[in-house]
Structure formats: C-alpha cells, structure tokens
Structure 1
Amino acid sequence: MRLQAQPINVVSILGNDYSIKAPQGQEETLAQAVRMLNASLADTKRQYPTLIGDKLLVLAALNLCSRQIELQREHQQTLERTQAQIDATVDAIVRTIAEQ
C-alpha cells in the first residue's frame, strides 16, 4: 500500500514564504485562508501602523478569532431559533391531527 504524498504549497505571509502541506483537495481552502490572513494583516496594519512582525500577526489572529467566535454565536442563535420554529410547527401539526 502506497500513501499518496501531500503536495507542498508555498505561501507568503508578512513577506516570508512558508512551505505548507495541504491534504489533497484542500489547496483552495489553504489559499483562501492565506488571502484572509493577509487581508486581516493589512487591515490591522492600517489601524496600527507601528506594529510589526509577531505583534502584528498576533493582533490580526486575535481579530480573526474574535470574528469567528461572533459567527459561531450567531450560528448557534440561528440554530436555536430554527429549532424553536420547527418545534412550534410540529406542535401545531400534532394539535391539528388530534382535533380531527
């Protein structure tokens, strides 16, 4: 049995090149993540022009993580609202069937 080697992708972040192995089929996801990180770095740099290197990277990463947490909370609230609507619909159907 031969394992298929993962392709190595070279990405650039803060002017440094990194060789990263991405599972087959995940190359585009990696490319999107790099674009998102670079965009976040650029935004953070505009807000805090004196930040460089690790400090810039950490602040940009924290901003991305904060946004991810917000999205997860919004998603959970949407799921809870949807479940409540489903439960109400099922209750209404059960009542309608019981009345007949």
Structure 2
Amino acid sequence: MSGAAETVKVISILGNDYSIKAPAVEAQAIVDAAELLKATLADTKRKYPTLVGDKLLVLTAMNLCSRQLELQRDHAAALLRYQAQVEATVEAVARTLERD
C-alpha cells in the first residue's frame, strides 16, 4: 500500500448497498458521485416511469456517458480555440519585438 489512509463508503443505489474502498482524500468524491447518480436516476425515472432495475440503471449510465462525451468534445474544442489565441498573441508579440 502507498501509505495513504483508506476509507470505505457505503452507498445505496436502487435499494442495494455498495461498499466502496478508496483513499480518504477521495471520500467526498465518492459521495458526490453517488448523489449525482441518484439524482440522474430519479430524473430518468420521471421521464420513463415504467423502467426499473437494470434497464433504468443502464439508461441512466448511458445518459451520463453521453454528457461526459459532450463535455469532452466541448473541452477539446475550447482547448483548440485557446491554443489558437495563444499562438496569435505570441506571433503579435514577436512581430512587435521585431520592429523595435
């Protein structure tokens, strides 16, 4: 073990308890992730009231994954824009310095 203190968090999803062991510094992230999952499950259940169990969980997971992919695409596009802006700024500074 790396020496980092570990903790076990018990979360309940769809009536089942899950014990998750992780470094203590990640304990709040586990709780936050569980709360996000529960909220997204509830939202999916409102939209599709007939879904239960695995089908509800899979559709919710697919929705979360879809959001994650969208965020990754948005992040990549933003990064390209920022890189272009930095390059343009560097070129402008270089041209200004060449004139002096």
Same topology, TM > 0.5: yes
TM-score by length of 2: 0.93
User: In 2, Cα distance between the equivalents of 1:73 and 1:3?
Assistant: 36
Please list every run of 5 or more consecutive structure 2 residues that lacks an aligned counterpart in the other structure: none
User: In 2, Cα distance between the equivalents of 1:3 and 1:32?
Assistant: 24
* 1:83-98 matches, cutoff 5 A: 83-98=83-98
TM-score by length of 1: 0.93
Cα distance 1:64–1:2, how it changes in 2: closer, same or farther (>3 A)? Answer: closer
**Is 1:73 matched with 2:77?**
no
CA RMSD in angstroms comes to 1.7
Write out the 4+ residue segments of structure 1 that deviate beyond 4 Å after TM superposition: 1-5
Cα distance 1:63–1:2, how it changes in 2: closer, same or farther (>3 A)? Answer: closer
Greater displacement, 65-74 / 17-26 = 17-26
The AA in structure 2 aligned to 1:23 is P
* 1:12-91 matches, cutoff 5 A: 12-91=12-91
User: In 2, Cα distance between the equivalents of 1:97 and 1:66?
Assistant: 47
Cα distance 1:96–1:4, how it changes in 2: closer, same or farther (>3 A)? Answer: closer
Percent of counterpart pairs with the same letter? 58
User: In 2, Cα distance between the equivalents of 1:2 and 1:43?
Assistant: 39
Please list every run of 5 or more consecutive structure 1 residues that lacks an aligned counterpart in the other structure: none
Cα distance 1:35–1:95, how it changes in 2: closer, same or farther (>3 A)? Answer: same
Q: How far does residue 5 in structure 1 lie from its aligned partner after superposition? A: 6.0
